[in-house]
Chain A
Amino acid sequence: MTEIVMSQTPPILHGPSEKERKYDRQLRLWAASGQAALESANLLLVNSGAGTVGAETLKNLVLPGIGRFAIYDEARVQEADMGVNFFLDDSCLGQSRSQSLTELITELNPDVQGAWYPNEGVQTLDSLLADSPVFTAILYTHPIRPDQLSQLEAYGQQHKTPLVAIHSAGLYSYFQINLPGAFPIVDTHPDETATTDLRLLNPWPELVAFAEGLTKDIDGLDNFEHGHLPYVVILLHYLEQWKAANDGNYPTTYKEKTDFRKVVQAAARTDIPEGGEENFDEAAAAVLKTLAPPSLPSGLKEVFEYEHSDPVEQRSGFWLIADAVKQFYEKHQCLPLPGKLPDMKAQSKVYIQLQGIYKAKARKDAAEILQIVQAAPGGERVDPAEVDLFCKNAAFVKLINATGGGGGANSSGSNKISRADRLKSAAALEFANDETAALTLAPLSLMPIYLALQATSHAVDEPLAADAILAAVAEQVPGAEQYERVVQAAREVERAAGGELHNVSALTGGMVAQELIKIVTKQYIPIDNTCVYDGIAARCQVLRL
């Protein structure tokens, strides 16, 4: 209980700082740790094409206070830019688009540094990449010149920099994230309701003793005490009774659990003025949700089974802790306890005691894992706070891009499928699903939109007609050009002729900014790895390509 007492020492009573006030609404989502990560990030936008989707993305990152950004854009501002891009005005006509955009975007937040290229000192993308400090992530917009794309991909591989490709044309868009390797996230922010782990089927001695102490004379309790037993204690008590009557077995099947629920419901006192007891209602409602034997969630299983190809990666804090948690799991057949107790009807003192028991057990588990970590080579450098965070979130840890090579054209390695083959098999699967969509009521695949847009990835000089788009699709995914929906998508892409619609670019820029925030803060779960948007049907689909 020391921790609780410590935290009760009076904090300094000052209000929030100016910065905390400005960023209040976002600090509630990613906390000071996420904000610090954002503020130390350095992004590059390689802007081409109609140029709006990149500007909209940056707007959404500059406002929350990304550290710095650079725009590389060879275009001069034209009349057509004014009808689609909010961060250009009439005074910019004929000027360098990167300079004009940078000036009007940095105006959004004085905390953020912006730079623009090409300029007198740095004239090509190649020299910018060679001379700059390493970028946290690089965004580029389509259509892009193939030679520039190759430079970016080479840079991404060399520096392990995430690359994000964005393509917005007419009523369609997609973006694709190419992460340099497996990308683990610990702070995934699962739904509150999903995180309850009460260990009712494998309680530890302190919890058992506490529950027994409160329920040894359960029928002799006065109505107030009976009506304020925490539901955890109620369930533990009647589970013991159930076991005694059922050869030492817990209720496991659905039928047994609903029978057990009836036992709990029947134990509530009804001969009182309220006619029932809220805590027993809570207990009954918790039966199906919380009576689950410990199991290994799929996300963590993937982490446990991950095979490293990079020895440097293997010695990082995350993987050392993951390995320790795996050993813990193998030894105890359960994960470290997160230690969070949901609110429940109870007297304050009893609830705080119970909360303390859960917290103490969580600390004990975390200490054991820290010990394993520190015994491993390199483990002494691991921050104990990182171990705590992992233990609290263990059930929700997630590995993105686990099989590697997502998105990149140059993904290598003998056991990895090439990107071209992956696109073919993904397309085949999507088209097969569409055959049965009428029966399954599933929405139709947005793969046709991706194929049609992607066919114009390098149409820098001339927009492509539908025929040319379909011919390019046929080269990538033979046969796809026959599908009616692919033909329609090609015609819709032809209609845009490489032009952006502001709304579609603003929407896409919003999604890309969300994803970059997730990647930079390592919080929430990024897409894996391509998101396609259909502005006609008003929906998205995430594909792994």
Chain B
Amino acid sequence: MTPTDVHPASEPARWVYLDRIRTRPGPFTNPDVFSPEAVAAAMETMKILVIGAGGLGCEILKNLALSGFKDIHVIDMDTIDISNLNRQFLFRQADVSKYKAEVAARFVEKRVKGVHITPHNCKIQDFDDDFYMQFQLVVCGLDSIEARRWINATLVNMVDEDVEDSYKPLIDGGTEGFKGQARVILPTVTSCIECQLDMHAPRAAVPLCTLASIPRQPEHCVEWAHVIAWDQAKPFPQLDKDDPEHITWLYQRALERAAEFNIPGVTYSLTQGVVKNIIPAIAATNSVIAAACCNEALKIASSTAPSLGLPEENYMMYSGNDSIYTYTFKHEKKDDCPVCGQVARALDVDRAWTLRELVDSFAARPEAQLKKPSVRAEGRTLYMQSPPSLEAQTRLNLDRTLVELGLEEGEEIAVTDPAFATVTFKFKLKFKQ
């Protein structure tokens, strides 16, 4: 191979390292899909969407700009907090309380010549399908499972078999401490985020009776202050978890509670961690995971090497606590996935349950995680969270048992939740013996 094999971008000298890889085939490049002379130009016109401008998002924007993408959009509704500065490297002390998307976009545009980044300081739910349809790739760096599920459901629903452009690959990263994961979702083709939901089970909640009468751990004292004492005293009109005065109030109540029961270990930091459900985060791990995601974006956009999701392995797990360990595997698509599957998912229930117990159980089930579920059965509405009139009409059903409501073994129920407006979760009842 000689340098003349390279098919350069518009500024060849600047992108020489990238062009060597993206415009020359290697031993693993699939010649059937690789078109070296078109790659650079195609990537320059490609529109790519980044969701999240936080720890992962800052890295993702930098990485995409230095991977030859020129037209990038970024969505983030958050503003910059001082605790972001240890890793969100596009922000400085002077940027605190400005919009993340705005500051991040301007910074990367200024540093990397020729890239155009459009910030959107709002929620992903503020946009409709037409907005999402304009992109060829979506890269997510989010800390919320709910937002991931929303964009996943939206992209799966947008797929139209007859329209090739309607398939938008979704690349998703997540981190916690020294660990993380990167995955590629090809909507309707590979396993989707909803299929993989049980890999991110919610933390088990502490029973209310433990908080109320038999606390044993410092966390129980904090939760008591948060869940019980706050509601009784209402020291401020609305709890703002980012307001130090509010956290201090909770901390003091937790300390009193701990003193009463002789429980050691309540600190301000613990209080804040429990109340805000803080996940430890560092620059190094974000750097690993964001780059793993963007490397897949480059491979998908250029076909210079096989990417995750095509068609075998689609998920990379990374752990840096004990040495370094990655596990790259194929997560199988689920036929009974409520978003991309075809069949209703089996749901183990107790025939003696009231409808309320069924409704409440959806929040804790790793494979459902629905906080405000409405439930319908074939031909009838069992419980609706809204509108208020319908809620009032169906509320009486909550205290009736499943058998009293005429539900039978094998019957299908449909569950909806306002957090995922476009999705109907279908379940098939299976009574425990």
Contact A65 B86 (CB under 8 A): yes
Contact B269 A28 (CB under 8 A): yes
Chain B positions within 8 Å of A10 at CB level = 255, 259
Bound complex: CA A74 to CA B210 (Å): 64
Using known A-B contacts A59-B287, A491-B27, determine if residue A64 contacts B282 with beta carbons closer than 8 Å.
yes
Contact B14 A25 (CB under 8 A): no
Any chain A CB within 8 A of the CB of B216?
yes
Categorize the interface residue count of chain A. 35 or more
By beta carbon, the residue of chain B nearest A498 is B17
Max count, chain B CB within 10 A of own CB: residue among A63, A504, A513 = A63
Bound complex: CA A388 to CA B21 (Å): 53
Any chain A CB within 8 A of the CB of B334?
no
Contact B182 A538 (CB under 8 A): yes
What distance in Å separates the Cβ of B250 from its nearest Cβ neighbour in chain A? 12
Any chain A CB within 8 A of the CB of B163?
no
By beta carbon, the residue of chain B nearest A170 is B21
What distance in Å separates the Cβ of A142 from its nearest Cβ neighbour in chain B? 15
Any chain A CB within 8 A of the CB of B283?
yes
Can you list, as one digit per residue, whether each of B249-270 has a CB less than 8 Å from chain A (1) or not (0)?
A: 0011001001101111101110
Any chain B CB within 8 A of the CB of A509?
yes
Contact B283 A503 (CB under 8 A): no
Contact A24 B278 (CB under 8 A): yes
What distance in Å separates the Cβ of B61 from its nearest Cβ neighbour in chain A? 10
Chain A positions within 8 Å of B67 at CB level = 501-503
By beta carbon, the residue of chain A nearest B180 is A510
Contact A538 B313 (CB under 8 A): yes
Bound complex: CA A164 to CA B324 (Å): 15
What distance in Å separates the Cβ of B43 from its nearest Cβ neighbour in chain A? 13
Bound complex: CA A29 to CA B282 (Å): 9
Bound complex: CA A487 to CA B296 (Å): 24
Any chain A CB within 8 A of the CB of B248?
yes
Bound complex: CA A509 to CA B292 (Å): 12
By beta carbon, the residue of chain A nearest B256 is A10
Bound complex: CA A13 to CA B294 (Å): 44
What distance in Å separates the Cβ of A75 from its nearest Cβ neighbour in chain B? 14
Using known A-B contacts A536-B306, A538-B292, determine if residue A26 contacts B86 with beta carbons closer than 8 Å.
yes
Chain A positions within 8 Å of B248 at CB level = 13, 15
Bound complex: CA A56 to CA B290 (Å): 13
Candidates B215, B251, B282, B308; contact of A538 at CB < 8 Å: B308
What distance in Å separates the Cβ of A60 from its nearest Cβ neighbour in chain B? 4
Any chain B CB within 8 A of the CB of A217?
no
Chain B contacts with A in 327-366, Cβ cutoff 8 A: 327-328
Contact B288 A511 (CB under 8 A): yes
Any chain B CB within 8 A of the CB of A497?
yes
Contact B262 A8 (CB under 8 A): yes
Chain B positions within 8 Å of A503 at CB level = 63, 66-67, 291-292, 294-295, 298
Bound complex: CA A491 to CA B25 (Å): 10
Chain A positions within 8 Å of B320 at CB level = 511, 514-515, 524
Bound complex: CA A517 to CA B316 (Å): 23
Contact A60 B269 (CB under 8 A): no
Any chain A CB within 8 A of the CB of B323?
yes
Contact B258 A8 (CB under 8 A): yes
What distance in Å separates the Cβ of A104 from its nearest Cβ neighbour in chain B? 9
Any chain B CB within 8 A of the CB of A4?
yes
By beta carbon, the residue of chain A nearest B13 is A79
Chain A contacts with B in 337-361, Cβ cutoff 8 A: 343-349, 351-352
Contact B27 A492 (CB under 8 A): yes
Bound complex: CA A344 to CA B66 (Å): 51
What distance in Å separates the Cβ of B117 from its nearest Cβ neighbour in chain A? 14
Contact A492 B82 (CB under 8 A): no
Can you list, as one digit per residue, whether each of A182-207 has a CB less than 8 Å from chain B (1) or not (0)?
A: 00000011100000000000000000
By beta carbon, the residue of chain A nearest B22 is A501
Chain A contacts with B in 2-17, Cβ cutoff 8 A: 3-5, 7-8, 10-11, 13, 15-16
What distance in Å separates the Cβ of B26 from its nearest Cβ neighbour in chain A? 5
Chain A positions within 8 Å of B291 at CB level = 502-507, 510
Any chain A CB within 8 A of the CB of B233?
no
Contact A21 B283 (CB under 8 A): no
Stretch of A84-92, A404-412, A419-427 that contacts chain B: A84-92
Any chain A CB within 8 A of the CB of B387?
no
By beta carbon, the residue of chain A nearest B3 is A497
Any chain A CB within 8 A of the CB of B326?
yes
By beta carbon, the residue of chain A nearest B262 is A352
Any chain A CB within 8 A of the CB of B33?
no
What distance in Å separates the Cβ of B173 from its nearest Cβ neighbour in chain A? 11
Candidates B259, B278, B321; contact of A28 at CB < 8 Å: B278
Contact A82 B292 (CB under 8 A): no
What distance in Å separates the Cβ of B3 from its nearest Cβ neighbour in chain A? 8
Chain B contacts with A in 204-263, Cβ cutoff 8 A: 210, 214-217, 244, 247-248, 251-252, 255, 258-259, 261-263
Stretch of A369-377, A429-437, A525-533 that contacts chain B: A525-533
Chain B contacts with A in 279-332, Cβ cutoff 8 A: 279-292, 294-296, 298-299, 305-306, 308, 313, 316, 318, 320-328
Contact B18 A83 (CB under 8 A): yes
| Between-chain CB contacts (< 8 Å), 25 pairs | A8-B259, A22-B86, A23-B86, A28-B280, A50-B17, A60-B282, A83-B11, A83-B15, A86-B66, A110-B93, A343-B217, A346-B216, A348-B214, A487-B27, A488-B27, A488-B28, A495-B24, A497-B20, A501-B17, A513-B283, A513-B284, A514-B282, A524-B322, A536-B305, A537-B313
Apart from A90-B113, A502-B18, A517-B284, list 11 A-B contacts with CB within 8 A.
A4-B264, A8-B262, A25-B279, A171-B305, A344-B216, A352-B216, A495-B20, A504-B295, A510-B285, A538-B308, A540-B324
Residues on A lying within 8 angstroms of B by beta carbon are 3-5, 7-8, 10-11, 13, 15-16, 18, 20-29, 50, 56, 59-61, 63-65, 78-80, 82-84, 86, 89-90, 107-110, 170-171, 188-190, 228, 343-349, 351-352, 443, 487-488, 491-492, 494-497, 499-507, 509-511, 513-515, 517, 524-528, 531, 535-540, 542
